[in-house]
Amino acid sequence: MIIPVNLDKNGYDIIFERGALQKVSDLLNLDRKVLIVTDDGVPPEYAEEVRSVSSDAYLTVMPAGEESKSFKNLEKICHTMLQNSFTRNDCVIAVGGGVVGDLAGFAASCYMRGIDFYNVPTTLLSQVDSSVGGKTAIDLDGIKNIVGSFYQPKKVIIDPKVLDTLSKRNFACGAAEIIKMAVCFDRKLFELIEEKGVKNCLEEAITGALKIKAAVVEKDEKEGGLRRALNFGHTIGHGIESVTGLFHGECVAMGMLPMCSEKVRKRLSDVLKREDLPVDLSSALRRYGVKPAGSNMAEKIAEASSHDKKMINGTITAVRVEEPGSFRMEKMNREKLEKACMEVVS
Ligand code: GLY
């Protein structure tokens, strides 16, 4: 299936096909210098699949993890391109999850003021969310994505076959982002997941999420309004993530729950449990062996959440879901935010 992202000059296709990675030479222009960026947590055969069919390939392998989104690694990638005489006609390919995509995409956007970038996401989370929409970035001083650009890829290759090697925990994190999109934008997709679970309707779940993401990005490429809805669960989720270090999708799962009506919360909680995602913080900390950061966790999470999304005049704007398939924006002051965080903690 081809899902187009219509953005005038910056438009591109998302190719969704089981086995697409083996056809990458037909799908991408690899008859030029190609810098493949991957990390040591990605099975090496995926990058090798691309390297073996490229005419002049270079490979950069980063350590897995958020710490790789650094100026040091940006310099390393640009240096590799410079030393090997990459020109504006050459390209960068990310083969990996969100970290690799963010870093490689940002390097592609900077080198010679922008060279072609292809994304081959290998985690469910990057397949359904971060590989589409052109957000690229590195971190600075512990602040995620603070230096970056909107830079659309020339093509995104999504091969669900690569998910066969993904850990259960990482699969669940991707499921959380699919559920987020369904509950905000597509009642039918939410009901399908509610009935079957993500694994049992994987193709519909991935393509459904991709269609939502493409439509949102087409309407609001630079996150002036509508695209902010994709941050559902992320205000509190980012707070939990920075205080506990639990995985992003797990934190988003817990962060969505206080932002729903009672009715949706019950249904969403059941859906998340079925995907083996946490619905309360204490059980998640116990399960993953994380020590609680002191007694006032809700306050700490609220503090981190308000830093992350920058409070303006003492309020933060977050996404709220009253009915599956729709959302509204809600202004929250610090007290309201802390109350919501309390619901996750207790
Ligand atoms: N991951 C949210 C966005 O791309 O806007």
SS (H, E, C) 175-231: HHHHHHHHHHHCHHHHHHHHHHCCHHHHHHHHHHHHHHHHHHHHHCCCCCCHHHHHH
Query: How would residue 293 be classed by pLDDT, with cut points 50, 70 and 90?
Result: confident
List, by residue number, the catalytic residues.
113, 135, 177, 213, 223, 227, 231, 234, 238, 248
Judge contact between 16 and 32, C-beta under 8 A. Answer: no
Core vs surface per residue 66-94: b (16+ CB within 10 A) or e:
bebbbeebbebbbebbeeeebeeebbbbb
The DSSP 8-state label assigned to residue 259 in this structure reads: G
Per-residue pLDDT tens for 80-119? 999 999 999 999 999 999 999 999 999 999 999 999 999 9
CB 197 within 8 A of CB 228: no
For the CA of 230, the nearest atom of ligand 1: 2
Ligand 1 neighbour 129 (Cβ under 6 A): yes
- List, in order, residues 6 or more apart from 257 with CB less than 8 Å away: 265, 268, 269, 272, 279, 343, 344
What's the pLDDT band for 310 if we cut at 50, 70, 90?
Answer: low
Residue 310, phi then psi, degrees to nearest 5? 55, 100
The reply to whether ligand 1 has any atom less than 6 angstroms from the CB of 309 is no
Q: For atom 3 of ligand 1, which residue has the closest CA? A: 230
Closest ligand 1 atom to 227 CA: 5
Ligand 1 centroid vs 136 CA: distance in angstroms?
A: 10
Cβ of residue 102 lying under 6 Å from some atom of ligand 1: no
Give the tens place of pLDDT for each residue, 169-180. Answer: 999 999 999 999
**Cα(281)–Cα(273) distance, rounded to whole angstroms?**
13
238 lines ligand 1 (CB under 6 A): no
Q: Tokens in use for 241?
A: 């993530």
Maximum distance among all Cα pairs of the chain, rounded to whole angstroms: 59
Q: With a 6 A CB cut-off, is 144 part of the ligand 1 pocket?
A: no
Report the pLDDT value the prediction gives residue 296, as an integer from 0 to 100: 86
Which pLDDT band, with edges at 50, 70 and 90, does 308 fall under? Answer: low
